[in-house]
Structure 1
Amino acid sequence: MLIIGMGFFTMGADMSMMPMGEGIGMEMSRTKNIGGPLLVCLILGMLITIAEPDLQVLAEQVPAIPNKILILSVAAGVGLFLMIAQIRIFFHIPLAKMLWVFYPLVFLLAFLAPDSFIPVSFDSGGVTTGPVTVPFIMALGIGLATLRSDKKSREDSFGLISLCSIGPILAVLLLGIFYEPDQALYSPTEVPAVETTRDVALLFTHAIPEYFKEVAVALIPIAAAFAMFQILFRRYKRHQLMRVGFGFLFTYIGLAMFLCGVNVGFMPVGQIIGAGIADCGYAWLLIPIGMVIGYFIVAAEPAVHVLTKQVEEISNGFVTAKMMQTALSVGVCISVGIAMLRILTGISVLWFLIPGYVFALVLTRYVSPIFTGIAYDSGGVASGPMTATFLLPFAMGACEALGGNVMTDAFGIVAMVAMTPLITIQMMGFITQMKEKAKRRYIEVQMHQLEDDILYFD
């Protein structure tokens, strides 16, 4: 189901989400009055966030705050920061400057929030940029920057996802400070009792209709927004509308199958494997096994394929999909290893997040703005449904087996997965830039040598 679902989803996103987001972005960039586009960004940001299945999973696991309050607060955070991203493109504000403003604010609020809310808040920033959100927001950024002919338009097409992932973190931290629940609790994943393949088949048979219903509820508001856009602007012709319609159908089928596969199959299995390794007498094996899982699991994230393809196209092949995939895999491998170390030792997530983000922000001074945008977008994309439905239960199962505090020790793994690609992809960009400079210097030296030889023979 995961493989078939991902295939349908990727094809559907290419046919529907990408042209829809790009078209809306281009129409908004044509207007000289910024008020209308900002309102559209707020509404679209909230709609696609409420539609994000990963957020529903996270809300279910944190019952200390009612689901509706948590989901609406996070949706408002995404909508607000999508507006801020639009303002950045409109006024040509460098992404790095905005990151230097908002991340210190995030860590300031983190010191004021209850300790048990800190990992959950950073995890919310990762799960909200999932398979529904990423294709649409990436295409929206491309559309907003397309009509500009200046050299920075390509750079500005990235960065929307990175800013949108800050909003949920701030929203949950503010909930922890002002909503004042006694403590952040969590709902453990129930491992179903299955003894035969018939029991497994029945589990999936009962779950499939629920996920088709859930995805329909998620996609209908987006389809309605697209229909309203088409009525107002008449942008797409009949054959284009048919293509988008089939794309929505493929997206619907693929996402429902994918989510059913990962939630019914991977979530309980992740918890069982984590608990089994922790109980085997060699708990330290969590670190190497977790790193191997992290290296390969990022390739199963549906939104990662959308991002790597877009990056290769926009950069004209300068940043290849293979380079992106390798940098993401290395980043997630490291992050899962650190997350397992935290479970074994109980070290606060802030001891890793603060130095990591500081280093990532410092790197923005030394790499090209396009690599900064790609890196910070990648952080949100890497922490998708596979992370939320396999790695998080894996960490919970291990933490419970070792008798640790699940809220402070297990939660935070999504945040780590979202943070390390910021470093690995910017490092990839830095190394690429150094190689290009060395290549240019070599060519210049050869040209000077050739000129000297010509003068000598003359």
Structure 2
Amino acid sequence: MEKRKEKTKESIQAVLPILFIVLLLSFTVAPVSASILLEFMIGAVFVIIGMLFFSMGAEMSMSPMGERVGGSMLKTKKLWVILLLGFFLGVIITISEPDLQVLAAQVPSVPNMVLILSVAAGVGAFLVVALLRILFGIALAPLLVVFYGVIFVIARFVPDNFLAVAFDSGGVTTGPMTVPFIMALGVGISAIRNDKHAENDSFGLVALCSIGPVLAVLLLGLVYPAQGSYVAADVPEAFNSVELGRLFLSEIPYYLKEIAGSLLPIVFFFGIFQLVSIQLHKKTLIKICVGLLYTYVGLVLFLTGANVGFIPAGNYLGTVMASLPCPWILVPVGMVIGYFIVKAEPAVYVLMKQVEELTDGEISGKAMQISLSVGVAASVGLSMLRVLTGIPIMYFLIPGYAIALFLTLFVPKIFTAIAFDSGGVASGPMTATFLLPLAQGACTAVGGDVVKDAFGVVAMVAMTPLITLQVLGLIYKIKSNKKEEMEEQPLLQAEDVFAGYADDAIIEL
């Protein structure tokens, strides 16, 4: 009961600031129609309830499943079996990710299934790399430098129409379905090692798995011609309460089917492990099943609320604000929205909980959340600047990743892994369903190229936390060093007191 109250409070606190900001804008500088405002408010209620169910369900089911599967994979003691299972698992989980379907519809000229399978193969391949890193204790930072170096070299030869969407794909595919399972998988596998670095190496799976989709879409950009253009989605209007109800009710069956299709492969995969090697007790199995039901209901409600209520509001607000006499208001407004919207990402709470547990509270969830919020605020502000000016996205991504990779030389290893994990986690469904439509609406209003200038918001949101969280790591390192110096100082003073006496002298105190 206490846990439920805590989760309810978290869900409400995550969504209320966004609701307040949108209402404030709607009643002042950016008037929207009554039906769109009502859609947004009802959507916010769906999102709050969905977040509550999802966060409870992920804790009860996805995390235990991932840890058990990770531990079970190592029981085979055959490297090729572990890697084959890892690749297959990566492909299944990626195909299960709901946001991948949205991405597939946005890339011009590439058939949806070709893109989905390519991205899934990319995630599977890099999950194998991540598993090898954990098993052999390979440092994360050099791998990130090498792979991002390859990405930026290939990007030089890829048409501009593919660049923003390619970098967006890295954040979109590490969403609410993928993150809890993959992070728990890392915990389960690293726990077998029992060395002092195993805890640090349990992070970094999401970071490496985010690279696969970017490479996959860039390589597709070399093969497929960059033709086609973005077609704006219709903003649905409801003229009475019955039509408003139908907007939401008509979408629920679609998401019931989509999320069922997303969860079934994971459940099937876990079921095979349960029969062959895990063999959990009945009580534990029932708890996982209840958790899966919570996860299912939570994701259906969350995605229905976000897609039906948030997309139209985001698009409309972006269009109205960009049409104002001073469209630059988009930059500060976008930063404020970005600061609060990351708190509404379901997978962020999974990451915060695992970080607190594995670091014994030394890295607090509150400090992580503030660092993420600051990073996302900066990224959304820069994204709105791109929309208004048409500055190419690579002008931001190249220096941004250069700074992030340079910081890996000075930051404790665990902060590097957490920072690069957080990039994929922060850019989830809330970014895709509110921030991206906000940028698209603004870009359309100012007459920009939506594919080049509006897409890329997810990529920017995925990049800036890499810097802010590593800065947090530097602060943590400096504070730790000062604490150690203060603890050593009394010992040094005591040594100085006794230094003037002979070894056999009698000292009266």
What TM-score do you get using the length of structure 1 for normalisation?
0.97
The offset of 1:139, in angstroms, is: 0.2
Matched, 1:111 2:156: yes
Whether the 8 Å CA contact 1:64–1:185 is kept in 2: the answer is no
* Deviation, structure 1 residue 63: 4.5
Instruction: Give deviations 1:319-342, integer Å, cap 9, x for gaps.
Output: 010011000000000000000111
Contact 2:338–2:380, Cα closer than 8 Å, also in 1: yes
Q: For 1:296-336, what per-residue CA distance to the aligned partner results, in whole angstroms no more than 9, with x for missing partners? A: 00000000000001100011101010011000000000000
**1:267-297 Cα distance to aligned partner (Å, 9 max, x none):** 1111001111001111100000000000000
Supply the distance in 1 between the matched residues of 2:376 and 2:50 (Cα, whole angstroms): 23
Residue equivalent to 2:188: 143
Partner-residue secondary structure (3-state), 1:277: helix
Q: In the alignment, what sits opposite 2:359?
A: 315
**Match of residue 127, structure 1, among 172, 183, 187:** 172
Alpha-carbon separation, structure 2, partners of 1:171 and 1:186: 21
Q: For residue 197 of structure 2, what is the aligned residue in structure 1?
A: 152
Displacement of 1:454: 6.2
Preserved CA contact (<8 Å) 1:189 1:267: no
Please list every run of 5 or more consecutive structure 1 residues that lacks an aligned counterpart in the other structure: none
User: Which one of 378, 400, 409 corresponds to residue 444 of structure 2?
Assistant: 400
Count of residues in Structure 1 that have an aligned counterpart in Structure 2: 457
Q: What's the offset of the Cα at 1:349?
A: 0.7
Deviation at residue 54 of structure 1 after TM alignment: 1.1
Contact 1:343/1:395 (CA < 8 Å) preserved in 2? Answer: yes
CA root-mean-square deviation? 1.3
Q: Which residues in structure 2 correspond to 1:80-119 (within 5 Å)?
A: 80-119=125-164
**1:27-66 to 2 correspondences below 5 Å:** 27-66=72-111
Equivalent residue number for residue 299 of structure 1: 343
Matches within 5 A, 1:294-443: 294-443=338-487
Q: In the alignment, what sits opposite 2:258?
A: 214
Q: Give the corresponding residue for 1:203.
A: 247
CA distance in 1, matches of 2:209, 2:367: 24
Deviation at 1:97, TM superposition (A): 1.3
2:229 aligns to what?
185
How far, CA to CA, are the matches of 2:394 and 2:129 in structure 1? Answer: 26
- 1:290 aligns with 334
1:10 aligns with 55
Cα distance between partner residues in 1 of 2:271 and 2:396: 45
Measure, in 2, the Cα distance between the counterparts of 1:184 and 1:36: 42
The separation in 2 between residues aligned to 1:154 and 1:201, in whole angstroms, is 48
The 1-side partners of 2:216 and 2:405 are apart by 22
Pairwise CA distance, 1:27: 1.5
* 8 Å Cα contact 1:184-1:407 kept in structure 2: no
Residue 161 (str. 1) matches residue 200 (str. 2): no
Check the 8 A contact 1:126/1:414 in 2, yes or no: yes
Paired with 2:498 and 2:101, the residues of 1 have a C-alpha distance of: 71
- Cα distance in 1 between the residues matched to 2:366 and 2:427: 19
| Distance in structure 2 (CA, Å) of the matches to 1:122 and 1:357 | 12
Aligned to 1:73: 118
Aligned-partner Cα distance in 1 for 2:255–2:127: 28
> How far does residue 28 in structure 1 lie from its aligned partner after superposition?
1.8
- State the Cα distance separating 1:181 from its structure 2 match: 2.4
Q: In the alignment, is the contact (CA less than 8 A) between 1:189 and 1:393 conserved in 2?
A: no
Cα deviation digits, residues 32-63 of structure 1 (max 9, x gap)? 31111111111111111111111111222335
The structural deviation recorded for 1:116 is 1.0
Structure 1 partner of 2:68: 23
Tell me how far apart the structure 1 counterparts of residues 141 and 157 of structure 2 sit (CA, whole Å). 25
Q: Residue 124 of structure 2 aligns to which amino acid in structure 1?
A: G
The amino acid that maps onto 1:284 is W
Deviation readout 1:208-260 (Å, 9 max, x if unpaired): 11111110111111111111111111431111110111111111000000000
Q: TM-score normalised to the size of structure 2? A: 0.88
Q: Percent identity?
A: 56
Greater mean deviation of Cα atoms: 378-387 or 228-237: 228-237
C-alpha separation in 2, matches of 1:345 and 1:307: 35
AA partner of residue 312 (structure 1):
E
2: CA distance, partners of 1:116 / 1:397:
18
Question: Secondary structure of the residue that 2:156 maps to in structure 1?
Answer: helix
